[in-house]
Structures are given as structure tokens and as C-alpha cells.
């Protein structure tokens, strides 16, 4: 999970999915969130290996899966996946089992994040972890936001001033938590209840498109006053306004882990392994963490991070803040269909 998570329309150049001609520049193709790699590190890798990195962006977990479905994951060397989708991608044959003898940094990785999801140890390298919470303009909203209900059943003066995420897993999951239920609930009556909440909230929402994180962000300009957001993105947009506060609600949020995986049909698997080794060098992993404002699972990198970064509870929430938070879990086909119907009914 996320990363700047600005919704992007993936632009796929035909040349990336054809065999390179003899002597042509090699290209490493990465399916990724936008702005989830430090451009300086990308440039250094390109120069060191005399290759080109091409990133294909998606704007949601669903969009990533749709892109992979289009050509059965052909042509992607590295695929950034959420932890909850790993097992599905393994089952579909989209990602390859790791050749651990080619990876030079495994002992540096936190066992907690390496094994947080089924299949992760054998198929994936943890990239970053974080939370889903709320960012709001504390200069305008005088009563501190501490509960999801304040976003899902907001005060009348917030009409047209809310930002939400069109990712069904987050939209419905955090809606369930606002009602005191588990984000992974499969109880039909509870899902019906959250659909009613989302339908009622709809008139209050300015946009379900993930906000931009630059100086033109709607929460900087005041077009939006409160929004669901990923924790690191809240800090990124805060670079442009000191009037922002991020909160992990008392009911807890979602804990996500993003993983880098090798595409089963990768054209450049050796380059993919080289890139994983490169970005997991301690100094590079530390630089990358500070670029995206997310917690790194690389323990060697953590030793190089400044205390200010490590002590920031937005990036590294303490145990008390996380006690009510949850990892998303794979759902039954029936429950997933129910959630898909809710999304279709609610989202514009």
C-alpha cells in the first residue's frame, strides 16, 4: 500500500512488451504506485547498470489486478503488490518464487514484515509498511478528529469538503470500523449497514479520487478539509501546509505491507534481482524511506535513519496506537462479491 497514491492512468508503451532488438538498451519494467521510488536512486541504478527503468503506474489495488489480467502479467519484471493480494497472484502464476541465493540482504529484513502474509517469505520482498488514517485541516476544524465516525457521519459544515478513497477495501473496511466492526467482516447485516452509511455520506464527499500531494492538493487549497489517507502521504502533503494533522482513529485503522515481487514472465529477471539488491543496500533503503515517508522493513537501514524520523509516530505508530488496527485478510468469494456490489452502488 501506498507511497504518493495519486490516481494514474497507466501508459504502456508497446516497446516494453516486445523483445529488445540486438544491442538495444535493456529496460527494467516495474508495475508500481506513482512516486514510490526516489528518482535519484532510479538514476543511479540506470547509470550503474547502463539500463533504463520504465515504471507503469496504477491508481488502486483493483487497477493493478486489472492491468495484470489484461496480458496475464506478461512483461513486468517487478510487480509491487499489497500483502493481501500476494496469495491470489501466486495462485494465478503471476509472480515467481524467489531465488534466494541471488538476494544479498535477506538477513537485514525484519522477520515480522517478511512473513506478515501467506506466501511472502517464498515470493516477496517487503518494501514498506504503514497505516490508513485521516488527515484534516486543524486550522479550520476546531474539534480534533479522533474517530472514523467523524469522517463517515460528518458534521453538516463539512458537506462537500470530504475526500475519500475509491479503493473498496479501504472505503468499506474503515466504514466497518466506524461502526465498531472488524474491517474484515463478512457478516451480511454489517455490510448492509456500512452500505447505508456510505450512501448517507455520499452527499458530503467532494471526491473519491485520491488527492494529489503537491502544493495544489485540495486539502492545501481548502477544497477538502478532511480525508482518508495513507500515513506517509499525509506527511508528504504536509510539506506544503503546516495546518494538517494526521490521526490514526481510536478504533484503529488498516495496517498494510507492500511487497516487491519478480514477475513470472519477466523479460529481465536478472536486472530485477540486481535492483532488489541495489535498493536494499542500507544507505539506499534509508534514503528511499525518507523520500516516501514510510517505515522501512530493512533493519540495517533503520540504523542509518535520524531519530526524528524513527520517533515520528505517524511513520512508526506505537503499539498503543496500533492495538485496534488490522491487517486486511483475503475474503470469501461471496463476501467479495457483496463488497463489489456495495462499491458499484456507492462510487460515482
Mean pLDDT of the chain: 92
**pTM, whole model, 2 decimals?**
0.89
Cα(280)–Cα(258) distance, rounded to whole angstroms?
A: 14
Q: Inform me whether the pLDDT recorded for 64 exceeds 80.
A: yes
CA distances from 240 to 64, 133, 237 (A): 29, 19, 6
Name the percent of the chain lying above pLDDT 90: 89
pLDDT at res. 10? 38
pLDDT at res. 16? 39
pLDDT at res. 348? 87
pLDDT at res. 19? 39
Cα(112)–Cα(179) distance, rounded to whole angstroms?
A: 29
Q: Which residue has the higher pLDDT, 146 or 15?
A: 146
Q: How many residues does the chain have?
A: 348
Q: Look-up: residue for cell 505508530?
A: 317
State pLDDT tens for residues 177-221. 999 999 999 999 999 999 999 999 999 999 999 999 999 999 999
Name the percent of the chain lying above pLDDT 70: 93
pLDDT at res. 23? 52
Residue 122's Cβ-side half-sphere holds a number of Cα atoms within 13 Å equal to: 9
Lowest mean pLDDT, pick from 57-61, 180-184, 261-265, 274-278: 57-61
pLDDT at res. 320? 87
State pLDDT tens for residues 22-33. 456 899 999 999
Average pLDDT over residues 104-118: 97
Amino acid at each position: 500500500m501506498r507511497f504518493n497514491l495519486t490516481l494514474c492512468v497507466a501508459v504502456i508503451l508497446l516497446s516494453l512488451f516486445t523483445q529488445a532488438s540486438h544491442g538495444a538498451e535493456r529496460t527494467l519494467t516495474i508495475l508500481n504506485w506513482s512516486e514510490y521510488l526516489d528518482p535519484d536512486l532510479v538514476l543511479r541504478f540506470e547509470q550503474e547498470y547502463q539500463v533504463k527503468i520504465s515504471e507503469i503506474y496504477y491508481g488502486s489495488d483493483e487497477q493493478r489486478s486489472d492491468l495484470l489480467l489484461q496480458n496475464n502479467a506478461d512483461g513486468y519484471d517487478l510487480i509491487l503488490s499489497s500483502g493481501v493480494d500476494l496469495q491470489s497472484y501466486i495462485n494465478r502464476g503471476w509472480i515467481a518464487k524467489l531465488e534466494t541465493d541471488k538476494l544479498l540482504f535477506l538477513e537485514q529484513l525484519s522477520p515480522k514484515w517478511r512473513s506478515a502474509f501467506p506466501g511472502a517469505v517464498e515470493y516477496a520482498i517487503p518494501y514498506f509498511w504503514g497505516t490508513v488514517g485521516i488527515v484534516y485541516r486543524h486550522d479550520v476544524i476546531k474539534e480534533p478528529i479522533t474517530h472514523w465516525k467523524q469522517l463517515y457521519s460528518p458534521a453538516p459544515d463539512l458537506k462537500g469538503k470530504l475526500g475519500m478513497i475509491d479503493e473498496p477495501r479501504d472505503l468499506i473496511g474503515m466504514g466497518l470500523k466506524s461502526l465498531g466492526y472488524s474491517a474484515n467482516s463478512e457478516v451480511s447485516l454489517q455490510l448492509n449497514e456500512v452500505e447505508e452509511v456510505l450512501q448517507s455520506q455520499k452527499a458530503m464527499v467532494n471526491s473519491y479520487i485520491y488527492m494529489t500531494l503537491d502544493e495544489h492538493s485540495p486539502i492545501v487549497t481548502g477544497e477538502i478539509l478532511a480525508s482518508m489517507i495513507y500515513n506517509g502521504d499525509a506527511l508528504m502533503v504536509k510539506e506544503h501546509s503546516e495546518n494538517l494533522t494526521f490521526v490514526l482513529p481510536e478504533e484503529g485503522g488498516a495496517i498494510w505491507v507492500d511487497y516487491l515481487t519478480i514477475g513470472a514472465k519477466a523479460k529481465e529477471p536478472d536486472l530485477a534481482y540486481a535492483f532488489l539488491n541495489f535498493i536494499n543496500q542500507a544507505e539506499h533503503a534509508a534514503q528511499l524511506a525518507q523520500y516516501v515517508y514510510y517505515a522501512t522493513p530493512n533493519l540495517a537501514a533503520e540504523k542509518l535513519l535520524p531519530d526524528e524520523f524513527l520517533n515520528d509516530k505517524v511513520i512508526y505508530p506505537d503499539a498503543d496506537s496500533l492495538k485496534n488496527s488490522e491487517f486486511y485478510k483475503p475474503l470469501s468469494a461471496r463476501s467479495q462479491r457483496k463488497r463489489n456490489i456495495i462499491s458499484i452502488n456507492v462510487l460515482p
